[in-house]
Amino acid sequence: MGFRSSRPARTDGEQLRLALAAARMGTFEWDLTTNSGRMSPELEAIHGLAPGEFDGSRDMMVELVHPDDREEFLAGFARAIADAGRYDTEFRIVLPTGEMRWRTAVATIVTDGNGTPARIIGVGQDITDRRLAEETLAEAQAKYRRMVEQLPLVTYVESLDAESALYISPQIEELCGYTAEEWVADPHFFGKVLHPDDRDHVLGEFANTHLTGDMYDGEYRIVAKDGRTVWVHDVAVRVRDADGNPLYSQGYMADVTARHAAEQALAESRAQLEQRMREIEHQALHDSLTDLPNRTLFHDRVDQALRAARRAGGSVCVMLIDLDRFKEVNDTLGHASGDVLLQEVARRLRTPVRESDTVARLGGDEFGVLASGVATADDAIVLAEKLREAVAKPIAVGGLSLEVDSSIGIAVAPDHGADVETLIRHADVSMYVSKRTHSPAVYSPETDHHSRVRLTLVADLRRALERGELIVYYQPQACATTGAVRTMEALVRWEHPVHGLLAPDQFVPLPEQTGLIRPLTLYMLDAALRQCAVWRNAGYDLAVAVNVTGRDLLDLHFPEQVAAAIERAGVVPEALELEITETTIMTDAARARAVLEALSALGVRLAIDDFGSGHSSLGYLKRLPIDVLKIDRSFVMNMAQRTDDAVIVRSTIDLGHNLGLQVVAEGVETEEALAWLTELGCDSVQGYFLGRPQPTDAVEWIVRRLARRLPPPDERAASG
């Protein structure tokens, strides 16, 4: 081994003693028969004695032992002798200097030939350093333990292959009601107290960190002894030896139930806040009456649909739906009934459309539909008809059964516009067309131009009235059998300085602009009655027919104004016929009836215009003071082609006669139509075949040729 000592070689005994001295060890011997003993010099040195200083007596031996340990020291000896066994003990000794040290005694009892204990031989070692180290360690441990057990935390130590703790600090009892002893006694305790919802994942995570050596840092619930749920924050680390091998795991658990409760309260109030925000947002984007999306949301959805269509290709169909004469329902039955009606309409509009389609209330009685999967105008019309039918079924409101007609305007992107504003504007234009045609209308650029002109014109109407740009055209109505003209219908025209001659459908205000109707009606009344006076003064037996609207008939002052106009013109009241469309009468029958009765009392004749185009019941008309029924021109014009129209014309003539009314057929365009109507017994005819509406000068020759002469004034007075 290449190791060379510089000293001369020693004997084995010498070497052993050197080794014993180095290990602070010495040997001893005790003779039980003489009760005296001997220590090796090394052991004497441990006791602070010079070699040979130990006198071998029991007394000195006992003297060397620390007084507190003497009793146990002697008892130990006695036990070893009694058992004839081994003796192994640690005790304190006192050095002559007074210093206290620790030594061991490991000995064997040697027996004599009879088996009686004779001698004790053994080894003693100074273990003061080790004891001191152990004490320091124990003190330190006790100190840390005290500290740990004072913390408001539960600390624990866990072996790496166990589920539960080896040690857990007593605070655990405060945390969950179970004592540390209960906890440590059962290796599966932890798993048992874990909240069922957390058990699997927490045990899994722990097992995983034991494997990887990662730190565990998590929160979970445990169920306390009294059933409470306790939230625990648990942090655990792996403790390793100097070589990095994991030894055990240690960690702490803190009760974070209060924090969790606070967090939960916070989360709840945040959720409430969010809910409230959502409600506010919903309110901002929905109509409160029907809960349908409002105009803002509708525009937004159309915008999104257009973007999606631009990206992915495809079309977007927008419809605007307006309820006809809703305002009158509202005015007559009250707002509460109007609301019920709107809610029902909203509900019905949802049925024909897809779940993903949007039905919105854009305001008042106007609704919007954004429909997907509607690519062509034909598809759109099909859907629009379904919507119209859904709305048209009778709705029970305030004890009445109302049939609600609707106008539907349609625009389909990209053909009819690529942005929201254009698309909706074009659907709006079509809606006005639909109002006139009484069927859903798809956008077309021509009608758009027309409608735009119309809107500006309506706005200019008042000025036109003041400037006298409105003129009256007359269309004759003749007796079907004799051909004699008895009545001239006054039809308005506008000689527009820019647009030229305009027909009434281009500017006669829609129900929405009712404020302009009265001035127009009064203007026409005055003009027609004045012209009538001219003809009558020239000796022709002519009456004039003037068109009035529902708005006129709802005003109880209207009869006075008519009376005043008749008086201004100076004609007999019988020379005036007022034409009222059947739909206007049905809207507010009670009020209209009062006005009609007042007018009839004046002596003015009353005609139902466009008969057959609405849904009025003849039974009801019977109770009104009506004199004339004008069959709608659409039936008359189509009589030759459509048998059902012919049937309608024939039965209307019969019905009118049964009610004692004069029947007039409008739209007589051909000789055949005239002949047939004559055969059916129709009283009067009106239409292009007899003459188109024309200005006064142009109808003058008709008046001279076809109007009957009035009897001379004296005869008139006599017969009147």
Binding site for ligand C2E (CB under 6 A): 475, 491-492, 503-505, 508, 520, 524, 547, 549, 579, 609-610, 633, 637, 666-669, 686-688, 693
Rounded Cα gap, residues 424 and 414, in angstroms? 12
Q: Which does 492 bind (CB under 5 to 8 A by kind): Ca ion, ligand C2E, none?
A: ligand C2E
Closest CA to 24 of 135, 128, 134: 128
In the complex, the smallest distance separating the C-beta of residue 667 from ligand C2E, rounded to whole angstroms, is 4
Q: Which does 554 bind (CB under 5 to 8 A by kind): Ca ion, ligand C2E, none?
A: none
Q: Which does 669 bind (CB under 5 to 8 A by kind): Ca ion, ligand C2E, none?
A: ligand C2E
| Signed CA dihedral, 369, 370, 376, 379: sign only | negative
Q: Between residues 23 and 503, which has the closer beta carbon with respect to ligand C2E?
A: 503
Q: Where are the alpha helices (DSSP H) in 570-642?
A: 582-587, 589-602, 618-622, 633-638
Report the residue number whose CB is nearest to ligand C2E: 687
Rounded Cα gap, residues 142 and 139, in angstroms? 5
Q: Which does 667 bind (CB under 5 to 8 A by kind): ligand C2E, Ca ion, none?
A: ligand C2E
In the complex, the smallest distance separating the C-beta of residue 558 from ligand C2E, rounded to whole angstroms, is 13
Amino acid identity of 278?
R
Q: Which of residues 567-586 bind Ca ion (CB under 5 A)?
A: 579
Helix pair 295-312, 420-437: axis angle to 10 deg = 110
In the complex, the smallest distance separating the C-beta of residue 367 from ligand C2E, rounded to whole angstroms, is 27
Q: Where are the alpha helices (DSSP H) in 23-127?
A: 41-46, 58-64, 67-83
Q: Between residues 290 and 584, which has the closer beta carbon with respect to Ca ion?
A: 584
Residue with tokens 């927490």: 202
Q: Between residues 566 and 668, which has the closer beta carbon with respect to ligand C2E?
A: 668
Q: Provide the token pair at 471.
A: 């003129």
Q: Between residues 191 and 504, which has the closer beta carbon with respect to ligand C2E?
A: 504
**Residues in a beta bridge with 31:** 36, 119
Rounded Cα gap, residues 116 and 447, in angstroms? 138
Q: Which does 491 bind (CB under 5 to 8 A by kind): Ca ion, ligand C2E, none?
A: ligand C2E
Write the binding mask 583 to 622 for Ca ion: x where contact by CB under 5 A, - elsewhere: --------------------------xx------------
In the complex, the smallest distance separating the C-beta of residue 490 from ligand C2E, rounded to whole angstroms, is 6
User: Do the Cβ atoms of 128 and 90 come closer than 8 Å?
Assistant: no
Residue with tokens 């008892």: 75
Report the residue number whose CB is nearest to Ca ion: 579
Q: Which does 407 bind (CB under 5 to 8 A by kind): ligand C2E, Ca ion, none?
A: none
User: Do the Cβ atoms of 282 and 187 come closer than 8 Å?
Assistant: no
Count of residues in contact with Ca ion, rule CB under 5 A: 5
Q: Which does 505 bind (CB under 5 to 8 A by kind): Ca ion, ligand C2E, none?
A: ligand C2E
Q: Which of residues 522-551 bind Ca ion (CB under 5 A)?
A: 547
Phi and psi angles of residue 542, each rounded to the nearest 5 degrees, phi first: -120, 145
In the complex, the smallest distance separating the C-beta of residue 386 from ligand C2E, rounded to whole angstroms, is 30
Q: Provide the token pair at 342.
A: 């709107």
DSSP assignment of 32-53 equals TTTTEEEE-HHHHHHTT--TT-
| Signed CA dihedral, 700, 701, 707, 713: sign only | positive
Closest CA to 27 of 43, 11, 51, 50: 43
Q: Which does 583 bind (CB under 5 to 8 A by kind): Ca ion, ligand C2E, none?
A: none
In the complex, the smallest distance separating the C-beta of residue 517 from ligand C2E, rounded to whole angstroms, is 7
Task: Tell me, rounded to whole angstroms, the distance of Cα 436 from its chain centroid.
Answer: 38
Helix pair 335-350, 377-392: axis angle to 10 deg = 140
Q: Which residues, including other chains, have CB under 8 Å from residue 620's CB and lie 6 or more apart?
A: 586, 589
Rounded Cα gap, residues 547 and 491, in angstroms? 8
Q: Between residues 609 and 645, which has the closer beta carbon with respect to Ca ion?
A: 609
| Signed CA dihedral, 631, 637, 640, 641: sign only | negative
Q: Between residues 31 and 495, which has the closer beta carbon with respect to ligand C2E?
A: 495
Closest CA to 73 of 62, 81, 85: 62
Determine the interface stretch with Ca ion among 77-85, 332-340, 494-502, 658-666 (rule: CB under 5 A).
658-666
In the complex, the smallest distance separating the C-beta of residue 332 from Ca ion, rounded to whole angstroms, is 25
In the complex, the smallest distance separating the C-beta of residue 429 from ligand C2E, rounded to whole angstroms, is 20
In the complex, the smallest distance separating the C-beta of residue 441 from ligand C2E, rounded to whole angstroms, is 18
Q: Which does 477 bind (CB under 5 to 8 A by kind): Ca ion, ligand C2E, none?
A: none
Q: Between residues 293 and 656, which has the closer beta carbon with respect to ligand C2E?
A: 656
**In 3-state terms, what secondary structure has residue 169?**
coil
Q: Between residues 317 and 548, which has the closer beta carbon with respect to ligand C2E?
A: 548
In the complex, the smallest distance separating the C-beta of residue 523 from ligand C2E, rounded to whole angstroms, is 8
In the complex, the smallest distance separating the C-beta of residue 669 from ligand C2E, rounded to whole angstroms, is 4
Rounded Cα gap, residues 672 and 656, in angstroms? 22
In the complex, the smallest distance separating the C-beta of residue 610 from Ca ion, rounded to whole angstroms, is 4
Residue 158 makes contact with Ca ion by CB under 5 A: no
Residues that bind Ca ion in the complex, under the rule CB under 5 A: 547, 579, 609-610, 666
